[in-house]
Structure 1
Amino acid sequence: MSEQPQKKEWFDEWFDTIYYHILYKNRNYTEAAQFLDNLIAYFGISKDAKILDLACGKGRHAIYLNERGFEVTGVDLSEQNIVYAKTKETGSLHFDIHDMRDVYRPESFDYVFNLFTSFGYFDSIEENLDVIRATVASLKPGGKLLIDFLNPYVVINNLVEEEDKTIDNIHFKISREYTDDQYIIKNIIVDDHGQHYEYMEKVKAIRRTDFLNYFEANGLIVLDLFGDYHLAPYEKEKSDRLIFVIQKPA
Protein backbone atom coordinates (compact mmCIF):
# COMPACT_ATOMS: atom_id res chain seq x y z
CA MET A 1 0.00 0.00 0.00
CA SER A 2 1.51 3.34 -1.03
CA GLU A 3 2.18 5.93 1.65
CA GLN A 4 -0.09 8.97 1.53
CA PRO A 5 1.72 12.29 1.02
CA GLN A 6 1.95 14.31 4.21
CA LYS A 7 -0.33 17.34 4.27
CA LYS A 8 1.61 20.59 4.15
CA GLU A 9 1.44 22.85 7.17
CA TRP A 10 0.20 26.39 6.51
CA PHE A 11 3.69 27.90 6.61
CA ASP A 12 5.06 25.34 4.13
CA GLU A 13 2.42 26.40 1.63
CA TRP A 14 2.01 30.16 2.21
CA PHE A 15 5.67 31.17 2.53
CA ASP A 16 6.53 29.38 -0.71
CA THR A 17 4.03 31.33 -2.83
CA ILE A 18 4.68 34.45 -4.89
CA TYR A 19 1.68 36.05 -3.17
CA TYR A 20 3.36 36.07 0.25
CA HIS A 21 6.19 38.15 -1.17
CA ILE A 22 3.85 40.43 -3.13
CA LEU A 23 1.71 41.11 -0.04
CA TYR A 24 4.75 42.01 2.07
CA LYS A 25 6.88 43.63 -0.63
CA ASN A 26 6.66 47.07 1.00
CA ARG A 27 8.19 46.14 4.34
CA ASN A 28 10.18 48.92 5.95
CA TYR A 29 13.79 48.15 5.03
CA THR A 30 15.04 51.36 6.65
CA GLU A 31 13.47 50.36 9.98
CA ALA A 32 14.98 46.86 9.68
CA ALA A 33 18.44 48.30 8.99
CA GLN A 34 18.18 50.67 11.96
CA PHE A 35 17.14 47.78 14.19
CA LEU A 36 20.13 45.72 13.08
CA ASP A 37 22.44 48.72 13.58
CA ASN A 38 21.06 49.03 17.12
CA LEU A 39 21.71 45.33 17.76
CA ILE A 40 25.27 45.51 16.42
CA ALA A 41 25.98 48.41 18.78
CA TYR A 42 24.16 46.81 21.72
CA PHE A 43 26.01 43.49 21.44
CA GLY A 44 29.30 45.05 20.34
CA ILE A 45 29.59 42.30 17.71
CA SER A 46 33.17 41.61 16.69
CA LYS A 47 34.10 41.11 13.04
CA ASP A 48 35.09 37.49 13.66
CA ALA A 49 31.68 36.60 15.12
CA LYS A 50 29.48 34.04 13.38
CA ILE A 51 25.78 34.90 13.13
CA LEU A 52 22.83 32.62 12.33
CA ASP A 53 19.68 34.26 10.93
CA LEU A 54 17.01 31.72 11.91
CA ALA A 55 13.91 31.67 9.66
CA CYS A 56 15.59 34.21 7.38
CA GLY A 57 12.95 34.44 4.64
CA LYS A 58 14.56 35.81 1.50
CA GLY A 59 17.53 36.89 3.58
CA ARG A 60 17.09 40.66 3.91
CA HIS A 61 18.46 40.78 7.46
CA ALA A 62 21.29 38.35 6.74
CA ILE A 63 22.28 40.29 3.62
CA TYR A 64 22.41 43.57 5.54
CA LEU A 65 24.47 42.05 8.36
CA ASN A 66 26.88 40.66 5.79
CA GLU A 67 27.14 44.09 4.15
CA ARG A 68 28.13 45.41 7.59
CA GLY A 69 31.09 43.01 7.50
CA PHE A 70 29.87 39.96 9.43
CA GLU A 71 29.92 36.27 8.57
CA VAL A 72 26.28 35.21 8.38
CA THR A 73 24.33 32.06 7.64
CA GLY A 74 20.61 32.26 6.91
CA VAL A 75 18.28 29.27 7.17
CA ASP A 76 14.62 28.94 6.26
CA LEU A 77 12.11 26.15 5.61
CA SER A 78 10.89 27.72 2.37
CA GLU A 79 12.68 26.32 -0.66
CA GLN A 80 11.69 29.31 -2.80
CA ASN A 81 13.05 31.75 -0.22
CA ILE A 82 16.40 29.99 -0.17
CA VAL A 83 16.57 29.68 -3.96
CA TYR A 84 16.31 33.47 -4.11
CA ALA A 85 18.61 34.09 -1.13
CA LYS A 86 21.34 31.91 -2.62
CA THR A 87 21.66 34.37 -5.52
CA LYS A 88 22.99 36.84 -2.91
CA GLU A 89 25.60 34.53 -1.38
CA THR A 90 29.18 35.70 -0.89
CA GLY A 91 32.26 34.10 0.64
CA SER A 92 30.91 35.09 4.07
CA LEU A 93 27.17 34.79 3.46
CA HIS A 94 25.47 31.41 3.05
CA PHE A 95 21.90 30.13 2.98
CA ASP A 96 20.38 26.69 3.60
CA ILE A 97 16.94 25.08 3.72
CA HIS A 98 16.36 24.07 7.32
CA ASP A 99 13.56 23.32 9.79
CA MET A 100 14.14 25.35 12.95
CA ARG A 101 12.89 22.46 15.10
CA ASP A 102 16.12 20.61 14.26
CA VAL A 103 19.71 21.45 15.21
CA TYR A 104 21.53 23.16 12.35
CA ARG A 105 25.22 23.11 13.35
CA PRO A 106 26.10 22.27 16.97
CA GLU A 107 27.97 25.00 18.90
CA SER A 108 28.86 26.94 15.74
CA PHE A 109 27.44 30.44 16.25
CA ASP A 110 28.13 33.38 18.54
CA TYR A 111 24.72 34.90 17.87
CA VAL A 112 21.38 33.60 16.64
CA PHE A 113 18.81 36.17 15.50
CA ASN A 114 15.16 35.15 15.12
CA LEU A 115 13.54 38.26 13.66
CA PHE A 116 10.18 39.64 12.55
CA THR A 117 7.91 37.20 14.42
CA SER A 118 9.42 34.02 12.99
CA PHE A 119 8.43 31.97 16.03
CA GLY A 120 5.14 30.56 17.32
CA TYR A 121 4.13 28.80 14.09
CA PHE A 122 3.61 25.44 15.78
CA ASP A 123 0.60 24.21 17.71
CA SER A 124 2.27 22.36 20.55
CA ILE A 125 4.38 23.65 23.42
CA GLU A 126 6.75 20.76 22.75
CA GLU A 127 7.45 21.98 19.22
CA ASN A 128 8.16 25.48 20.49
CA LEU A 129 10.52 23.95 23.03
CA ASP A 130 12.14 21.96 20.20
CA VAL A 131 12.92 25.27 18.48
CA ILE A 132 14.51 26.65 21.63
CA ARG A 133 16.51 23.45 22.25
CA ALA A 134 17.74 23.28 18.67
CA THR A 135 18.67 26.95 18.65
CA VAL A 136 20.55 26.68 21.92
CA ALA A 137 22.42 23.66 20.57
CA SER A 138 23.59 25.77 17.61
CA LEU A 139 25.09 28.42 19.91
CA LYS A 140 28.61 28.31 21.23
CA PRO A 141 28.86 28.29 25.04
CA GLY A 142 28.19 31.86 26.17
CA GLY A 143 26.51 32.65 22.83
CA LYS A 144 23.47 34.91 22.65
CA LEU A 145 20.01 34.48 21.15
CA LEU A 146 17.67 37.30 20.17
CA ILE A 147 13.97 36.58 19.63
CA ASP A 148 11.92 39.40 18.08
CA PHE A 149 8.24 38.57 18.56
CA LEU A 150 4.97 40.49 18.35
CA ASN A 151 3.48 41.77 21.60
CA PRO A 152 0.30 39.66 21.80
CA TYR A 153 -1.46 42.05 24.21
CA VAL A 154 -1.20 44.99 21.82
CA VAL A 155 -1.93 42.96 18.68
CA ILE A 156 -5.06 41.34 20.13
CA ASN A 157 -6.38 44.61 21.58
CA ASN A 158 -5.90 46.42 18.25
CA LEU A 159 -6.83 43.65 15.83
CA VAL A 160 -8.01 44.95 12.43
CA GLU A 161 -10.68 42.39 11.59
CA GLU A 162 -10.96 43.04 7.84
CA GLU A 163 -8.75 44.70 5.26
CA ASP A 164 -8.56 44.91 1.45
CA LYS A 165 -5.36 45.55 -0.49
CA THR A 166 -4.54 45.68 -4.19
CA ILE A 167 -0.86 45.25 -5.02
CA ASP A 168 0.48 44.76 -8.55
CA ASN A 169 -3.14 44.40 -9.76
CA ILE A 170 -3.65 41.45 -7.38
CA HIS A 171 -6.40 41.80 -4.80
CA PHE A 172 -5.95 40.55 -1.24
CA LYS A 173 -8.91 40.23 1.13
CA ILE A 174 -7.55 39.80 4.66
CA SER A 175 -9.49 38.85 7.80
CA ARG A 176 -8.03 38.47 11.28
CA GLU A 177 -9.27 36.76 14.41
CA TYR A 178 -8.09 35.68 17.82
CA THR A 179 -9.25 32.13 18.43
CA ASP A 180 -9.25 29.52 21.19
CA ASP A 181 -7.64 32.07 23.51
CA GLN A 182 -4.26 31.26 21.97
CA TYR A 183 -3.96 31.87 18.20
CA ILE A 184 -3.81 35.02 16.10
CA ILE A 185 -5.04 33.95 12.67
CA LYS A 186 -4.90 35.86 9.40
CA ASN A 187 -6.94 34.46 6.51
CA ILE A 188 -5.88 35.69 3.07
CA ILE A 189 -8.04 35.37 -0.04
CA VAL A 190 -6.15 36.17 -3.24
CA ASP A 191 -7.83 37.25 -6.49
CA ASP A 192 -5.24 37.13 -9.24
CA HIS A 193 -7.12 38.22 -12.37
CA GLY A 194 -10.01 35.86 -11.68
CA GLN A 195 -7.94 33.04 -10.18
CA HIS A 196 -8.74 32.61 -6.49
CA TYR A 197 -6.50 31.16 -3.77
CA GLU A 198 -6.85 30.92 -0.01
CA TYR A 199 -4.01 30.97 2.51
CA MET A 200 -3.58 31.36 6.23
CA GLU A 201 -1.09 32.69 8.74
CA LYS A 202 -1.34 31.37 12.29
CA VAL A 203 0.80 32.54 15.17
CA LYS A 204 0.50 31.34 18.73
CA ALA A 205 -0.03 34.33 21.03
CA ILE A 206 2.89 33.46 23.29
CA ARG A 207 3.04 35.66 26.37
CA ARG A 208 6.14 36.95 28.12
CA THR A 209 5.68 34.45 30.96
CA ASP A 210 5.41 31.56 28.47
CA PHE A 211 8.71 32.57 26.88
CA LEU A 212 10.32 32.84 30.30
CA ASN A 213 9.17 29.29 31.05
CA TYR A 214 10.69 28.08 27.76
CA PHE A 215 14.01 29.72 28.62
CA GLU A 216 14.04 28.41 32.19
CA ALA A 217 13.35 24.87 30.93
CA ASN A 218 16.51 25.14 28.82
CA GLY A 219 18.71 26.68 31.51
CA LEU A 220 19.03 29.99 29.65
CA ILE A 221 19.84 33.38 31.09
CA VAL A 222 17.56 36.32 30.16
CA LEU A 223 19.74 39.40 29.77
CA ASP A 224 17.25 41.97 28.49
CA LEU A 225 13.70 42.54 27.33
CA PHE A 226 12.93 45.32 24.85
CA GLY A 227 9.65 46.65 23.48
CA ASP A 228 10.60 48.13 20.13
CA TYR A 229 13.31 48.33 17.48
CA HIS A 230 14.90 51.30 19.25
CA LEU A 231 15.51 48.93 22.22
CA ALA A 232 13.20 50.82 24.57
CA PRO A 233 12.09 48.92 27.70
CA TYR A 234 9.14 46.54 27.25
CA GLU A 235 5.74 47.74 28.49
CA LYS A 236 2.99 45.13 28.40
CA GLU A 237 0.13 47.43 27.36
CA LYS A 238 2.08 49.73 25.01
CA SER A 239 5.05 48.07 23.34
CA ASP A 240 4.77 46.96 19.72
CA ARG A 241 7.31 44.15 20.13
CA LEU A 242 8.46 41.54 22.62
CA ILE A 243 12.24 41.28 22.10
CA PHE A 244 14.25 38.91 24.28
CA VAL A 245 18.02 38.77 24.63
CA ILE A 246 19.06 35.39 26.04
CA GLN A 247 22.44 33.84 26.77
CA LYS A 248 23.56 30.23 26.74
CA PRO A 249 25.64 29.46 29.85
CA ALA A 250 29.36 29.41 29.16
Structure 2
Amino acid sequence: MLILQRTMMEEQTQKKEWFDEWFNTIYYHILYKNRSYEEAGKFLDKLIHYFEMPKDAKILDLACGKGRHSIYLNNRGFDVTGVDLSEQNIAFARQKANDSLHFHIHDMREVFQPATFDYVFNLFTSFGYFDSKEENLDVIRATCESLKPGGKLLIDFLNPYVVINQLVSEEDKTIDNIHFKITREHTKDDYIVKNIEVDDHGQHFEYMEKVKAIRRTDFLNYFDQIGLKLLDIFGDYQLNPYINDQSERLIFVIQKPA
Protein backbone atom coordinates (compact mmCIF):
# COMPACT_ATOMS: atom_id res chain seq x y z
CA MET A 1 0.00 0.00 0.00
CA LEU A 2 2.82 2.43 0.87
CA ILE A 3 4.56 1.74 -2.46
CA LEU A 4 1.29 2.34 -4.33
CA GLN A 5 0.74 5.67 -2.53
CA ARG A 6 4.28 6.79 -3.38
CA THR A 7 3.78 5.83 -7.03
CA MET A 8 0.55 7.82 -7.21
CA MET A 9 2.23 10.84 -5.63
CA GLU A 10 5.14 10.61 -8.09
CA GLU A 11 2.73 10.44 -11.03
CA GLN A 12 0.87 13.52 -9.76
CA THR A 13 4.17 15.39 -9.41
CA GLN A 14 5.23 14.42 -12.94
CA LYS A 15 1.90 15.58 -14.36
CA LYS A 16 2.19 18.98 -12.68
CA GLU A 17 2.74 21.64 -15.32
CA TRP A 18 5.47 24.25 -14.98
CA PHE A 19 3.07 27.15 -14.51
CA ASP A 20 1.28 25.34 -11.68
CA GLU A 21 4.52 25.42 -9.73
CA TRP A 22 6.26 28.65 -10.78
CA PHE A 23 3.29 31.02 -10.57
CA ASN A 24 2.49 29.77 -7.07
CA THR A 25 5.90 30.67 -5.64
CA ILE A 26 6.92 33.86 -3.85
CA TYR A 27 9.94 34.05 -6.17
CA TYR A 28 7.81 34.67 -9.27
CA HIS A 29 6.40 37.81 -7.65
CA ILE A 30 9.76 38.93 -6.30
CA LEU A 31 11.42 38.57 -9.72
CA TYR A 32 8.71 40.58 -11.46
CA LYS A 33 7.75 43.01 -8.72
CA ASN A 34 9.14 46.00 -10.63
CA ARG A 35 6.71 45.66 -13.51
CA SER A 36 5.40 49.08 -14.41
CA TYR A 37 1.95 49.72 -12.91
CA GLU A 38 2.02 53.14 -14.58
CA GLU A 39 2.53 51.58 -18.02
CA ALA A 40 -0.23 49.03 -17.34
CA GLY A 41 -2.63 51.81 -16.33
CA LYS A 42 -1.89 53.87 -19.45
CA PHE A 43 -2.45 50.80 -21.63
CA LEU A 44 -5.80 50.07 -19.99
CA ASP A 45 -6.84 53.71 -20.37
CA LYS A 46 -6.11 53.44 -24.09
CA LEU A 47 -8.18 50.26 -24.32
CA ILE A 48 -11.12 51.87 -22.53
CA HIS A 49 -10.97 54.73 -25.04
CA TYR A 50 -10.40 52.45 -28.05
CA PHE A 51 -13.36 50.19 -27.21
CA GLU A 52 -15.53 53.13 -26.09
CA MET A 53 -16.49 50.91 -23.17
CA PRO A 54 -19.81 51.72 -21.53
CA LYS A 55 -19.88 51.89 -17.74
CA ASP A 56 -22.09 48.81 -17.50
CA ALA A 57 -19.56 46.67 -19.41
CA LYS A 58 -18.64 43.33 -17.85
CA ILE A 59 -14.95 42.42 -18.22
CA LEU A 60 -13.15 39.10 -17.75
CA ASP A 61 -9.44 39.38 -16.92
CA LEU A 62 -8.15 36.00 -18.13
CA ALA A 63 -5.01 34.81 -16.27
CA CYS A 64 -5.21 37.82 -13.96
CA GLY A 65 -2.23 37.04 -11.71
CA LYS A 66 -2.52 39.06 -8.51
CA GLY A 67 -5.21 41.19 -10.11
CA ARG A 68 -3.44 44.46 -10.89
CA HIS A 69 -5.30 44.96 -14.19
CA SER A 70 -8.62 43.84 -12.71
CA ILE A 71 -8.27 46.24 -9.80
CA TYR A 72 -7.39 49.15 -12.08
CA LEU A 73 -10.35 48.49 -14.37
CA ASN A 74 -12.67 48.20 -11.36
CA ASN A 75 -11.35 51.51 -10.03
CA ARG A 76 -12.34 52.99 -13.38
CA GLY A 77 -15.91 51.89 -12.62
CA PHE A 78 -16.27 48.58 -14.46
CA ASP A 79 -17.65 45.24 -13.29
CA VAL A 80 -14.61 42.94 -13.47
CA THR A 81 -13.95 39.26 -12.84
CA GLY A 82 -10.38 37.99 -12.66
CA VAL A 83 -9.52 34.32 -13.08
CA ASP A 84 -6.19 32.55 -12.64
CA LEU A 85 -4.91 29.02 -12.10
CA SER A 86 -2.71 30.05 -9.16
CA GLU A 87 -4.38 29.64 -5.78
CA GLN A 88 -1.90 32.05 -4.17
CA ASN A 89 -2.55 34.72 -6.79
CA ILE A 90 -6.30 34.50 -6.30
CA ALA A 91 -6.00 34.47 -2.50
CA PHE A 92 -3.97 37.69 -2.73
CA ALA A 93 -6.30 39.33 -5.27
CA ARG A 94 -9.42 38.52 -3.24
CA GLN A 95 -8.24 40.94 -0.56
CA LYS A 96 -9.38 43.68 -2.98
CA ALA A 97 -12.67 42.02 -4.00
CA ASN A 98 -15.98 43.89 -3.74
CA ASP A 99 -19.50 43.77 -5.18
CA SER A 100 -18.21 44.55 -8.68
CA LEU A 101 -14.78 42.89 -8.48
CA HIS A 102 -14.54 39.11 -8.18
CA PHE A 103 -11.72 36.58 -8.40
CA HIS A 104 -11.86 32.84 -9.08
CA ILE A 105 -9.42 29.95 -9.52
CA HIS A 106 -9.86 28.75 -13.10
CA ASP A 107 -8.05 26.88 -15.87
CA MET A 108 -8.29 28.97 -19.05
CA ARG A 109 -8.68 25.83 -21.16
CA GLU A 110 -12.18 25.43 -19.73
CA VAL A 111 -15.27 27.61 -20.18
CA PHE A 112 -15.98 30.16 -17.46
CA GLN A 113 -19.51 31.60 -17.14
CA PRO A 114 -20.84 31.19 -20.72
CA ALA A 115 -22.12 34.24 -22.63
CA THR A 116 -21.52 36.58 -19.70
CA PHE A 117 -18.86 39.13 -20.64
CA ASP A 118 -18.69 42.05 -23.05
CA TYR A 119 -14.88 41.99 -23.09
CA VAL A 120 -12.18 39.48 -22.27
CA PHE A 121 -8.62 40.73 -21.73
CA ASN A 122 -5.70 38.29 -21.84
CA LEU A 123 -2.75 40.49 -20.91
CA PHE A 124 1.03 40.37 -20.55
CA THR A 125 1.77 37.15 -22.48
CA SER A 126 -0.60 34.93 -20.53
CA PHE A 127 -0.99 32.56 -23.47
CA GLY A 128 1.06 29.87 -25.22
CA TYR A 129 1.95 27.96 -22.04
CA PHE A 130 0.74 24.61 -23.28
CA ASP A 131 2.29 21.73 -25.19
CA SER A 132 -0.12 21.45 -28.10
CA LYS A 133 -1.94 23.57 -30.66
CA GLU A 134 -5.14 21.86 -29.55
CA GLU A 135 -4.78 23.32 -26.05
CA ASN A 136 -4.19 26.80 -27.49
CA LEU A 137 -7.36 26.35 -29.52
CA ASP A 138 -9.16 25.17 -26.38
CA VAL A 139 -8.21 28.43 -24.64
CA ILE A 140 -9.54 30.62 -27.44
CA ARG A 141 -12.65 28.49 -27.91
CA ALA A 142 -13.43 28.49 -24.17
CA THR A 143 -12.78 32.23 -23.99
CA CYS A 144 -15.13 32.81 -26.91
CA GLU A 145 -17.82 30.88 -25.04
CA SER A 146 -17.47 33.30 -22.10
CA LEU A 147 -18.26 36.28 -24.35
CA LYS A 148 -21.70 37.56 -25.12
CA PRO A 149 -22.61 37.53 -28.83
CA GLY A 150 -20.68 40.38 -30.42
CA GLY A 151 -18.28 40.52 -27.46
CA LYS A 152 -14.60 41.30 -27.95
CA LEU A 153 -11.40 39.53 -26.95
CA LEU A 154 -7.98 41.15 -26.62
CA ILE A 155 -4.85 38.96 -26.58
CA ASP A 156 -1.62 40.73 -25.60
CA PHE A 157 1.27 38.47 -26.62
CA LEU A 158 5.02 38.84 -27.08
CA ASN A 159 6.34 39.43 -30.59
CA PRO A 160 8.30 36.20 -31.21
CA TYR A 161 10.39 37.65 -34.04
CA VAL A 162 11.81 40.42 -31.86
CA VAL A 163 12.14 38.31 -28.71
CA ILE A 164 14.06 35.55 -30.49
CA ASN A 165 16.33 37.97 -32.36
CA GLN A 166 17.13 39.91 -29.17
CA LEU A 167 17.26 36.96 -26.77
CA VAL A 168 19.61 37.52 -23.82
CA SER A 169 21.04 34.06 -23.11
CA GLU A 170 22.19 34.70 -19.51
CA GLU A 171 21.33 37.20 -16.80
CA ASP A 172 21.95 37.58 -13.06
CA LYS A 173 19.72 39.57 -10.73
CA THR A 174 19.73 40.12 -6.98
CA ILE A 175 16.41 41.30 -5.55
CA ASP A 176 15.71 41.55 -1.81
CA ASN A 177 18.99 39.69 -1.18
CA ILE A 178 17.74 36.76 -3.27
CA HIS A 179 19.91 35.81 -6.26
CA PHE A 180 18.32 34.84 -9.59
CA LYS A 181 20.36 33.26 -12.38
CA ILE A 182 18.33 33.30 -15.58
CA THR A 183 19.16 31.50 -18.81
CA ARG A 184 17.09 31.72 -21.99
CA GLU A 185 16.93 29.68 -25.16
CA HIS A 186 14.86 29.24 -28.29
CA THR A 187 14.33 25.51 -28.60
CA LYS A 188 14.11 23.36 -31.73
CA ASP A 189 10.42 22.79 -31.11
CA ASP A 190 9.92 26.58 -31.17
CA TYR A 191 9.49 27.41 -27.51
CA ILE A 192 11.07 30.36 -25.73
CA VAL A 193 12.31 28.85 -22.49
CA LYS A 194 13.54 30.70 -19.43
CA ASN A 195 15.27 28.65 -16.72
CA ILE A 196 15.41 30.36 -13.34
CA GLU A 197 17.78 29.29 -10.59
CA VAL A 198 17.05 30.83 -7.20
CA ASP A 199 19.53 31.11 -4.34
CA ASP A 200 17.67 32.25 -1.24
CA HIS A 201 20.20 32.48 1.59
CA GLY A 202 21.63 29.05 0.89
CA GLN A 203 18.39 27.42 -0.27
CA HIS A 204 18.47 26.53 -3.96
CA PHE A 205 15.42 26.19 -6.22
CA GLU A 206 14.96 25.76 -9.96
CA TYR A 207 11.96 26.85 -12.02
CA MET A 208 11.04 27.31 -15.66
CA GLU A 209 8.96 29.52 -17.93
CA LYS A 210 8.01 28.11 -21.30
CA VAL A 211 6.07 30.00 -23.98
CA LYS A 212 5.36 28.82 -27.50
CA ALA A 213 6.67 31.25 -30.12
CA ILE A 214 3.27 31.63 -31.77
CA ARG A 215 3.42 33.75 -34.92
CA ARG A 216 0.80 36.13 -36.26
CA THR A 217 -0.24 33.64 -38.97
CA ASP A 218 -0.72 30.91 -36.34
CA PHE A 219 -3.06 33.14 -34.34
CA LEU A 220 -4.99 34.06 -37.47
CA ASN A 221 -5.42 30.37 -38.22
CA TYR A 222 -6.77 29.79 -34.69
CA PHE A 223 -9.27 32.62 -35.07
CA ASP A 224 -10.37 31.36 -38.47
CA GLN A 225 -10.94 27.82 -37.19
CA ILE A 226 -13.24 29.12 -34.44
CA GLY A 227 -15.03 31.63 -36.66
CA LEU A 228 -13.85 34.80 -34.93
CA LYS A 229 -13.55 38.16 -36.67
CA LEU A 230 -10.19 39.96 -36.51
CA LEU A 231 -10.67 43.69 -35.88
CA ASP A 232 -7.15 45.00 -35.28
CA ILE A 233 -3.51 44.05 -34.70
CA PHE A 234 -1.35 46.41 -32.63
CA GLY A 235 2.39 46.32 -32.00
CA ASP A 236 2.77 48.08 -28.64
CA TYR A 237 0.92 49.48 -25.64
CA GLN A 238 0.43 52.79 -27.45
CA LEU A 239 -1.71 50.88 -30.00
CA ASN A 240 0.59 51.57 -32.93
CA PRO A 241 0.32 49.24 -35.95
CA TYR A 242 2.12 45.89 -35.75
CA ILE A 243 5.40 45.54 -37.68
CA ASN A 244 6.66 41.96 -37.55
CA ASP A 245 10.41 42.63 -37.18
CA GLN A 246 10.14 45.78 -35.04
CA SER A 247 7.13 45.79 -32.73
CA GLU A 248 7.51 45.10 -29.02
CA ARG A 249 4.18 43.26 -28.76
CA LEU A 250 1.66 41.30 -30.81
CA ILE A 251 -1.80 42.48 -29.71
CA PHE A 252 -4.99 41.14 -31.30
CA VAL A 253 -8.53 42.45 -31.06
CA ILE A 254 -11.07 39.78 -32.05
CA GLN A 255 -14.87 39.75 -32.06
CA LYS A 256 -17.31 36.92 -31.43
CA PRO A 257 -20.10 36.74 -34.04
CA ALA A 258 -23.31 38.47 -33.00
TM (norm. structure 2) is 0.96
1:14 paired residue number: 22
Alignment equivalent of 2:99, drawn from 91, 94, 97: 91
Identity between Structure 1 and Structure 2 (%): 78
SS at match of 2:35: coil
**SS of the residue 1:102 aligns to:** coil
CA distance in 2 between counterparts of 1:75 and 1:180 reads 32
- Secondary structure (helix, strand or coil) at the match of 1:180 reads coil
Match of 2:131 in 1: 123
Structure 1, unpaired ranges of 5+: none
Match of 1:167 among 166, 175, 200: 175
Counterpart-to-counterpart distance in 2, 1:228 and 1:91: 33
Give distance in 1, aligned partners of 2:189 and 2:20.
24
Residue 247, structure 1, aligned to residue 251, structure 2 = no
Identify the residue that residue 52 of structure 1 maps to in structure 2: 60
Aligned position for 1:25: 33
Q: What amino acid is the match of 2:146?
A: S
Q: Which runs of 5+ in 2 are unaligned?
A: none
Q: Which has the higher helix share?
A: 2
Aligned equivalent of 1:182, options 187, 190, 209 = 190
**2:65 is equivalent to residue 62 of structure 1:** no
Alignment: residue pair count: 250
SS in 2 for 1:201: strand
For residues 96 and 30 of structure 2, the distance between their equivalents in structure 1, rounded to whole angstroms, comes to 19
In 2, Cα distance between equivalents of 1:225 and 1:241? 10
Could you report, residue by residue, the CA deviation over 1:107-141 in whole angstroms, capped at 9, with x for unpaired residues?
Answer: 00000000000000001000000001100000000
Distance (Å, rounded) in 2 between the aligned partners of 1:100 and 1:27: 23
Q: Which amino acid aligns with 2:150?
A: G
The one of 124, 127, 136 equivalent to 2:144 is 136
The normalised TM-score by structure 1 is 0.99
1:101 pairs with one of 105, 109, 128: 109
Return 5-14 or 59-68, whichever deviates more. 5-14
